[in-house]
Amino acid sequence: MIILVINLARGGETMARYRNPEIYAAQQTSILRAAERCIRRYGFEGTAIAALCAEAGISAGRLYHYFPSKAAIIAALIAEAQAEALASLDPLATAAITPAALIAAVEAAALGVADPDYAAVALEIAASAARDATIAAALAAHERAVAAAWQAAIERGQSGGLFPAHLPADALAEAIALVLDGILGCRISKPDLTDAAIRQRVRFVLTPLLEHAAR
């Protein structure tokens, strides 16, 4: 599908300029991957537009055609992360889940955020949110959306009789977010942390919470 971008009048004739959405999306993705590499290498503040353009192999003018600012690039990275996180939780949306299945899902999410490349960029984004309102708003929206997905999964478990009805689903969803944030930080401070250790930490925190709620 070709999308009409703008009409230009020249010599009394109307000329149309078109944009191929697939090519446009591919270039945006290329810029985002270049931004991730630069952020890992230089940090968010240290990533100059010139360096980003060099990494992406495009001019500054062309970069701004796709993203008006560095903050817009970060917002797009956050949107990508949100889409991936919600997609990973899709299996929890199809049926009521057990506490064991919930813990397994959190373990999988923890392994995802513990990826060194992901963690390096995510922590830079979190730090930049303290200085940029646009990034802060995008990050807050991302966290709300993902927390809502966890909460919905827990509530489905409750409706199916697999979770205690009195369990505060919103509080447990927040606890899951705190666990994942902690794992994210651990990946930087403890780079030798194994997958088995990550799973163990998730179970260490969540299992007592669920057992206590079941009483």
Instruction: Show the domains of the chain with their CATH numbers.
Output: 1-67 (1.10.10.60), 69-215 (1.10.357)
Question: What is the pTM for the complete model shown?
Answer: 0.81
How many whole angstroms separate alpha carbon 56 and alpha carbon 62?
A: 10
Instruction: Report percent pLDDT > 70 for the chain.
Output: 89
pLDDT on residue 212: 59
CB-based burial, 180-192: b 16+ in 10 Å, e otherwise:
beebbebbeeeee
Higher pLDDT, 16 or 182: 182
Query: For residue 183, which of 107, 82, 79 has the smallest C-alpha distance?
Result: 107
How many whole angstroms separate alpha carbon 192 and alpha carbon 194?
A: 6
**Paired tokens of 148:** 């809502």
φ, ψ for residue 10, nearest 5 deg: -135, 120
Evaluated on CA atoms 119, 149, 154, 97, the torsion sign reads negative
How many whole angstroms separate alpha carbon 71 and alpha carbon 75?
A: 6
Predicted confidence (pLDDT) at residue 19 exceeds the cutoff of 90: no
pLDDT on residue 100: 87
How many whole angstroms separate alpha carbon 168 and alpha carbon 209?
A: 11
pLDDT on residue 16: 45
The per-residue pLDDT for range 161-195, each reduced to its tens digit, is 887 788 889 999 999 999 999 999 888 788 888 99
